[in-house]
Amino acid sequence: MIVQSHKSTWLFASLAMIGGCATVNPQHDYERVGRRVIEATGQEQVYRPEDDKLVAELVVKLVADGISADEAVQISLLNNPSLHGAFMDVGIARADVVQAGLFSNPFLGISARLPDGGGLANIEGSIAQNIAELWQIPIRKRAAERSLDVIILDLARMAAGIAADAKTAYYVGVGADERRRIAEENFDIAENLLELALARQKAGAASELDVNLSRGIALNAEIEVERARLFAANARRALAAILGLTGDADLLVFSDALPTESLATPDAESLVQLAKVWRLDIRLAEEAVAAAEARLTLERARVFPVVDTGVAFERGERRAGSGQDLIVGPSLGIELPIFDQNQAQIAKAEYVLQKALKALDAIDRAVTQEVRSAVDRAATAWQLMHMYHDRSIPLAQGNLDLSREAYRAGRASFLSVLEAQRFFLEARRGYVEASQSAATTIPELERTIGLPFNRFLDEVETPTQAARDTAEENGP
């Protein structure tokens, strides 16, 4: 007797076709990363793994004629090697999604028994497939997709952080160049004071002490020039590292100066609401919660991990006057959850979910204070810069001019000139440092809010729910 199972044949054929068509293509995922990064940074071009040659050519063009702050951000998003490596995590996560959608391979078993009296062997066989995956695969795939969403948001957050670091490093480099220029000018001023002291000594109106004090100031100014040169060189090398450049960093040309106009920063509470909508670390924490929930659902579905169904056949012994019968029929096998009911993995998934919820709550609470602190630092930095520019430097310059004229005329001591010059040099150094600090508050605010500066100025009047709807439409 021969029995055939057409349904089983079609089942295994269909599963084979589905498995054979599975491919790993993360291009759409790269596009999702790009949209997030463009939204967070305001830049229009973001690295894609297939564009390595084009990226190299574009970076050469951008660097050739000097770079602006925005171009530094653009180069970092195209050429930063750490960012390149992180894109591979997206491909890995996409491969996990594809794997999660695949059925496990069917199991084929064959055994043979030799009869005592001789003759043909009694052959038994079976082919079985785990049908528990019919309801587990959709859940498993959703969990893998949620994990992919987390990877995409984490990569976008990393890229936005690199962009902020690049802009900060750019302004530090510009400030370092300005500091070196001020140091060189201060050295010239100190040299002029030394020449004045020597001229007064020659005329018999200054002592050797006055000359030596002038030489000391000139020497300190010369030392400051060398320190400023090294600081500027290191700042350029730090920027080059973020931009992924391997050439001589001293050849980098900055086309932007330190900004001098005050920031029109909105009130902190409006920015707090924007940050809670747009910050990628908040969205990342939300996706981590969703991923943990999907993982918990999957673990609960694995109480019956294996339910095998298939076809079993047996070729019996030869009987007198007849051939051998091939006996074919369905088979069913179930792993009984007697000892292991997946309770440990379910509990673990529950703890992971609780941890993700606590992390989301922690970030949400911290954002408010982070934004308020960033706004306060920005306002203070710009106020200090203007105090140096509008009040301290003019006062110091006036005092220095008056003390020198009085010293030439013999109406003031040399110590008063030294004090006036010290105040003037410190005021100029303080102005450069304050200007640099004020400039770096721009990328700090962008990092804290999660949007480029001009964008969050435009968005500050947007209702929070509308902004959230826009963010959700863009996808994770």
DSSP 100-162: HTSPPPPEEEEEEE--TT-SS-EEEEEEEEETTHHHHHHHHHHHHHHHHHHHHHHHHHHHHHH
Q: What is the mean pLDDT of each run of 10 residues along the chain (476 residues)?
A: 45 54 85 90 87 86 90 93 92 92 84 69 79 84 91 92 94 93 89 86 83 88 93 95 92 88 77 89 92 91 80 64 66 79 91 95 92 92 92 92 84 83 87 90 90 76 49 50
Contact by Cβ (8 Å): 235, 413: no
Domain-embedded: residue 1: no
Domain membership of residue 55 as a residue range:
6-473
What is the distance between the terminal CA atoms of the chain, rounded to a whole angstrom? 59
Q: Chain-wide mean pLDDT for the chain?
A: 84
CATH number reported for the structural domain that contains residue 230 in this entry = 1.20.1600.10
Which pair of structure tokens corresponds to residue 119?
A: 């003759």
Sequence length of the chain is: 476
What's the confidence (pLDDT) of residue 116?
A: 67
How far apart are alpha carbons 286 and 294 in whole angstroms? Answer: 13
How far apart are alpha carbons 394 and 273 in whole angstroms? Answer: 41
3-state secondary structure of 97: helix
Domain-embedded: residue 392: yes
What's the confidence (pLDDT) of residue 98?
A: 93
SS (H, E, C) 382-438: HHHHHHHHHHHHHHHHHHHHHHHHHHHCCCCCHHHHHHHHHHHHHHHHHHHHHHHHH
What percent of the chain is predicted at pLDDT more than 70? 87
What's the confidence (pLDDT) of residue 415?
A: 82
Domain-embedded: residue 218: yes
What's the confidence (pLDDT) of residue 322?
A: 55
How far apart are alpha carbons 266 and 371 in whole angstroms? Answer: 11
How far apart are alpha carbons 236 and 216 in whole angstroms? Answer: 30
If you compute the radius of gyration of the chain from its CA atoms, what whole number of angstroms results? 36
What's the confidence (pLDDT) of residue 324?
A: 59
Domain-embedded: residue 428: yes
Domain-embedded: residue 266: yes
Closest CA to 309 of 99, 124, 133, 111: 133
What's the confidence (pLDDT) of residue 117?
A: 64
pTM above 0.85, yes or no: no
Q: Provide the domain count of the chain.
A: 1
What's the confidence (pLDDT) of residue 145?
A: 92
Domain-embedded: residue 83: yes
What's the confidence (pLDDT) of residue 21?
A: 60
Instruction: Give the position of tokens 């040399």.
Output: 414
Which pair of structure tokens corresponds to residue 171?
A: 């302004």
